[in-house]
Homo-oligomer: A and B are copies of this chain.
Amino acid sequence: MKLYDYAIAPNPRRVTIFIAEKGIEIETVQIDLRAGEQKTPEFTALNPMQDVPALELDDGSCINQVNAICRYLEEVYPQPPLYGRTAVERAQVESWNHRIQNNGILAVTEAYRNSSPFFANRAVSGPNAYAQIPELSERGLKRIGDFYTDMNAHFADNQFVMGDYFSVVDITAYITVDFAKWVKMTIPEDCTHLQRWFDEVGSRPSIG
């Protein structure tokens, strides 16, 4: 297996943290998105979505998209389980992961891609061109604030997103908060529970 990564970008980082939590090692190749290396004919043949992360399997086929890669690794390397330990827990992980993807990662993405000059006319990920919508960037910032409030309330009573069980959802949520720095939305001072969780997760060897 070979992982195509761009170490500073949030989505591939979710995969490299996941790999570190599994305690495994996978050969990694850096694809410089800023330099456009994802658009070369070679890489496009491997991953027509022209994006990282992408996991090349030994037969030359490719899995793209964060959760597709992480779920595959969860099957191949089941320990420690990061997508839940029982059927009900796995369902709750899926539900939380979707919620944080929509209310967290997507909110930051909307705020960032609709304001950064680098993404002019590329406001949505993927090959199609879409103009930026400044109002959507503003709404993204408001949504990040609401996400912080919601998660702060949750962490008042929960060590991790899934209670006392560290899961892939903590990685999704951690990267959301870390990514939000790109739009200058750090954790508000009064969100002490969220800050406690962020510091705790951030001190794990997979991240720190």
Q: Which residues from chain A sit less than 8 Å from chain B, CB to CB?
A: 49, 57, 61, 63-65, 67-69, 71-72, 75-76, 87-88, 90-92, 94-95, 98-99, 103, 123-124, 126, 128, 130-131, 133, 135-136, 139, 142-143, 146
Inside 8 A of A72's CB, which chain B residues have their CB?
87-88, 90-91
Give the chain B neighbours of A75 by CB distance below 8 A: 87, 90
**Nearest chain B CB to A131 CB, angstrom units:** 8
A149's nearest neighbour on chain B, judged by CB, is: B128
Cβ distance A27 to chain B, nearest Cβ, rounded Å: 18
Q: How many copies does the complex hold?
A: 2
Task: Let me know if B130 and A133 touch, CB within 8 A.
Answer: no
6 closest A-B pairs (Cβ-Cβ)?
A: A68-B95, A72-B91, A68-B94, A65-B95, A75-B87, A68-B91
Compute how far the CA of A143 lies from the CA of B94 in the bound complex, rounded to whole angstroms: 26
Q: Find out whether the CB atom of A94 lies under 8 angstroms from the CB atom of B67.
A: yes
Residues of B near A94 (CB, < 8 A) are 65, 67-68, 71
Contacts of A143 in B (CB 8 A): 124, 128, 130
Asked whether, in the complex, the Cβ of A64 is within 8 Å of the Cβ of B130, the reply is no
Most interface-central of A61, A75, A123, A124 (chain B CB within 10 A) = A124
For the complex, give the distance between the alpha carbons of A94 and B88 in Å: 19
CB-contact partner of A98 in B67, B87, B130, B142, under 8 A: B67
- Cβ of A189 to closest chain B Cβ, rounded Å: 21
Q: Residue A91 contacts which of B69, B87, B146 (CB distance < 8 angstroms)?
A: B69
A82 CB to closest chain B CB, in angstroms? 14
Known: A63-B88, A133-B133, A133-B136. 12 other contacts (CB 8 A): A65-B98, A65-B99, A67-B94, A68-B95, A68-B98, A71-B90, A72-B91, A124-B143, A130-B139, A130-B142, A130-B143, A133-B135
The CA-CA distance from A146 to B75 in the complex, in Å, is 34
